[in-house]
């Protein structure tokens, strides 16, 4: 009897156990199913429960911002956007995120970025602060309209054309050194990689005009202390953090440094900040300079605005110059020379204008900005190359203001993220003609130059125009004529297109090898 009772008890416990396991399995399945349904509902909500549902674009992009990160990692995001706008051209809008629209309508340019606009910077900007983790914004990264305007007022006079023209003689120093380097490649008969040399030149110019001291890249003929490598890697990390600003909020975590791609962001940024700190330390110790450089002007701003422009503001401003000053200009220089030498008709026409200007005395041996700007075909070649190859590959985003807005005939609600990519805008046939994808400098002479200028985005637009524009124009207009007057260039490897390009933030050209020959004067 006892044995039977014990057996029944064991059997009952077994049944209970089996029931429990089945219920656990059913409950687990229900939890998983519920989680899946909740996630599915979320995706459907993000995709369809929005005024953006009718805007065309990649399906994945309408669900997650990871689509945009994926395009960045392809290293040619500007070409992806170009192709999408060509595919969906009639709408002038492409959905590239759950809440982000890329715009190609020329009429939207002034609405989004023009003076007095109500559109505000997005969360894309703060991670770009050159103040590192100090929390100090610079004129570019400050997301507030008031903060940007205040920062710009402090330093804008230092970048004025009048101030920059005073630096002409000192820009000539790295120009002369670069020309010597061209001569060495002529004598040695070895191809010259302009991708490297033009960036080293631009970086040394920044040193000259900012704090009266070249970095020494032209002398060394290499990337000293891997400074440019650090900048490039910082750009890679920075653009991912900018697109996923949640990462910026955890940068101070001890675990952040272990994340792939972005983990070394602050370590690399600190290399550049360290350059600025070293410059300031040397000047404060009494290093003498022979001109009123940008740093001298920033010190004056500090004296005139005690409490409004402190030591950290000064450091951040110098860091911005170092970080952004060489990439944008070197990209433009490469583009100008590349498109000239790969279009023989235009190259010959440009050389004729330069030679005639020398013979007539319109330009001097050390060409000045004013002299170069008097040459219409040179200016057309500069504008056309910068149109076809803008430095920036991403788009500067803005939030739609309260009340929403109608762009390209479509209503977009408040807080929608919108932006215009310069590569996309510069390809608009309504502005630049039916051959907008072709290099034709004459369009800037016989076309509607005023219309094209109003849609030219290589230096930004409106109140957010690049502060360093005048410095870049001084460099470009001095060095390009002098290179072309002294040396004849041709591609060393025309069979592979002459260069390769990669982009994350800036669209960098690589492996731009040329054969250099002295011109008969």
In the annotated binding site for heme, the residues are 466
Contacts of residue 94, defined as CB under 8 A and 6 or more positions apart, other chains included, come to 55, 56, 57, 81, 84, 85, 88, 101, 102, 104
Which residues are annotated as part of the binding site? Answer: 466
What tokens does 511 get?
């492996």
Spatial contact of 227 and 268, defined as CB atoms under 8 Å apart = no
Bridge partners for 410 per DSSP: 407
d(CA 201, CA 483): 12
d(CA 156, CA 16): 79
In angstroms, what is the C-alpha Rg of the chain? 28
Place of tokens 């039977």: 4
Contacts of residue 196, defined as CB under 8 A and 6 or more positions apart, other chains included, come to 223
Burial class (CB in 10 A: 0-12, 13-18, 19+), 344: exposed
Calculate the CA 1 to chain-centre distance. Answer: 87
Burial class (CB in 10 A: 0-12, 13-18, 19+), 158: buried
Instruction: Write the CA distances from 313 to 134, 154, 490, integer angstroms.
Output: 11, 10, 45
**CB neighbours of residue 310 within 10 Å:** 13
Instruction: Write the CA distances from 483 to 94, 235, 396, integer angstroms.
Output: 42, 30, 33
The helix-helix angle for 311-324 and 265-284 (nearest 10°) equals 120
Three-class DSSP category at 166 = coil
Contacts of residue 155, defined as CB under 8 A and 6 or more positions apart, other chains included, come to 139, 298, 301, 317, 467
Q: What are phi and psi of 64, to 5 degrees?
A: -150, 145
- Element of type H or E holding 64: none
Of 428, 397, 420, 170, nearest to 294 by C-alpha is 170
Instruction: Write the CA distances from 343 to 339, 423, 441, 489, integer angstroms.
Output: 6, 21, 11, 12
d(CA 80, CA 192): 31
Of 62, 60, 64, nearest to 48 by C-alpha is 62
């Amino acid at each position: 009897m006892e044995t039977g009772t014990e057996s029944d008890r064991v059997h009952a416990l077994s049944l209970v156990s089996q029931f429990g396991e089945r219920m656990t399995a059913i409950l687990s399945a229900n939890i998983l199913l519920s989680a899946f349904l909740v996630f599915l509902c979320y995706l459907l909500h993000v995709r369809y429960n929005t005024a953006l549902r009718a805007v065309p674009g990649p399906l994945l992009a309408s669900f997650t911002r990871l689509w945009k990160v994926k395009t960045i990692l392809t290293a040619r995001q500007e070409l992806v956007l170009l192709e999408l706008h060509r595919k969906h051209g009639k709408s002038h809008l492409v959905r590239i995120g759950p809440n982000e629209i890329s715009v190609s309508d020329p009429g939207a340019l002034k609405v989004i970025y023009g003076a007095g606009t109500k559109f505000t910077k997005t969360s894309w900007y703060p991670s770009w602060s050159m103040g590192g983790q100090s929390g100090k914004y610079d004129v570019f990264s400050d997301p507030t309209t008031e903060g940007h305007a205040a920062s710009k007022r402090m330093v804008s006079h230092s970048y004025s054309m009048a101030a920059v023209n005073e630096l002409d003689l000192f820009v000539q120093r790295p120009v002369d050194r670069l020309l010597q380097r061209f001569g060495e490649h002529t004598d040695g008969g070895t191809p010259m990689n302009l991708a490297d040399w033009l960036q080293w030149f631009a970086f040394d110019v920044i040193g000259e005009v900012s704090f009266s001291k070249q970095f020494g890249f032209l002398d060394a003929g290499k990337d000293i202390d891997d400074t440019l490598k650090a900048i490039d890697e910082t750009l890679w990390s920075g653009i991912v953090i900018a697109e996923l600003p949640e990462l910026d909020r955890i940068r101070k975590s001890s675990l952040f440094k272990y994340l792939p791609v972005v983990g070394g962001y602050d370590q690399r940024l600190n290399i550049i900040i360290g350059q600025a700190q070293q410059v300031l330390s040397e000047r404060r110790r009494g290093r003498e300079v022979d001109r009123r450089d940008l740093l001298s002007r920033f010190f004056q701003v500090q004296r005139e605005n005690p409490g409004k422009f402190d030591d950290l503001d000064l450091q951040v401003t110098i860091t911005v110059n170092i970080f952004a000053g060489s990439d944008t200009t070197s990209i433009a220089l490469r583009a100008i020379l590349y498109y000239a030498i790969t279009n023989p008709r235009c190259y010959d026409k440009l050389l004729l204008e330069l030679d005639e200007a020398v013979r007539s005395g319109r330009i001097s041996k050390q060409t000045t900005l004013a002299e170069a700007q008097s040459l219409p075909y040179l200016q057309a070649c500069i504008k056309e190359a910068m149109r076809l190859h803008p430095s920036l590959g991403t788009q500067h985003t803005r939030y739609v203001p309260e009340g929403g807005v109608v762009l390209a005939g479509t209503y977009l609600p408040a807080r929608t993220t919108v932006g215009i990519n310069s590569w996309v805008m510069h390809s608009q046939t309504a502005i630049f003609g039916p051959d907008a994808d072709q290099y034709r400098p004459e369009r800037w002479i016989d076309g509607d130059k005023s219309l094209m200028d109003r849609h030219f985005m290589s230096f930004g637009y409106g109140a957010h125009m690049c502060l360093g524009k005048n410095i870049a124009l001084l460099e470009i207009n001095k060095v390009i004529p002098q290179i072309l007057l002294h040396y004849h260039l041709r591609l060393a490897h025309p069979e592979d297109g002459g260069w390769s390009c990669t982009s994350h933030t800036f669209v960098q050209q690589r492996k731009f090898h040329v054969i250099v020959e002295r011109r008969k004067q």
